[in-house]
């Protein structure tokens, strides 16, 4: 881990995002192309490229850490997109708040809530 690279697409720990765009993100002196999950356990690659690709399985890592997350910020890319009611229901039943917004807004909001040491996670779809 000392080489500063994602190991198997996972970096343990909580880090703010330094930048986003151009199909990826910068954080912890690294860059990553593609979408990301920022969870209490760490930041991991997320194989979702659009809202149309959201599945129950895509959200499984979030629910696996559900006790450590009060709010999930879902960044839907360059535009805000509607999330199917079934996903909203799953979050409500798990006791996790869900806030849907553009990826840039989600990354900025995540940074603020992280700095406040809130129990927050982010699922961010990369923007071009």
9 domain residue, yes or no: no
Distance (Å) of CA 112 to CA 15, 33, 53, 76, 117? 11, 23, 28, 19, 9
16 domain residue, yes or no: no
| Token pair in block for residue 15 | 């880090």
Tens digit of each residue's pLDDT (9 = 90 or more) over 35-87: 999 999 999 999 999 999 999 999 999 999 989 999 999 999 999 999 999 99
- Determine the structural domain holding residue 30 and report its residue range: 22-124
52 domain residue, yes or no: yes
User: With helix as H, strand as E and coil as C, how does 37-71 read?
Assistant: EEECCEEEEECCCCHHHCCHHHHHHHHHCHHHCCE
Task: Please tell me the distance from the alpha carbon of residue 43 to that of residue 46, in angstroms, as a whole number.
Answer: 9
Tens digit of each residue's pLDDT (9 = 90 or more) over 1-17: 333 444 567 899 999 99
1 domain residue, yes or no: no
3 domain residue, yes or no: no
13 domain residue, yes or no: no
What's the pTM value of the predicted model, to 2 decimals? 0.92
Check residue 7 and report its DSSP letter: B
42 domain residue, yes or no: yes
Read off the CATH number of the domain in which 47 is found. 3.40.1230.10
Q: How many domains does the chain have?
A: 1
84 domain residue, yes or no: yes
């Amino acid at each position: 881990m000392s080489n500063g690279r994602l190991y198997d697409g996972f970096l343990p720990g909580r880090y703010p995002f330094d930048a986003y765009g151009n199909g990826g993100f910068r954080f912890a002196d690294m860059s990553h192309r593609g979408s990301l999950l920022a969870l209490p356990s760490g930041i991991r690659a997320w194989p979702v490229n659009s809202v149309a690709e959201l599945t129950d399985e895509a959200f499984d890592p979030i629910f696996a850490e559900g006790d450590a997350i009060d709010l999930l910020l879902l960044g839907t890319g360059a535009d805000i997109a509607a999330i199917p009611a079934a996903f909203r229901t799953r979050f409500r039943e798990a006791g996790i708040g869900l806030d849907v917004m553009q990826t840039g807004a989600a990354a900025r909001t995540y940074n603020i809530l992280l700095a406040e040491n809130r129990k927050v996670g982010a699922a961010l779809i990369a923007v071009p």
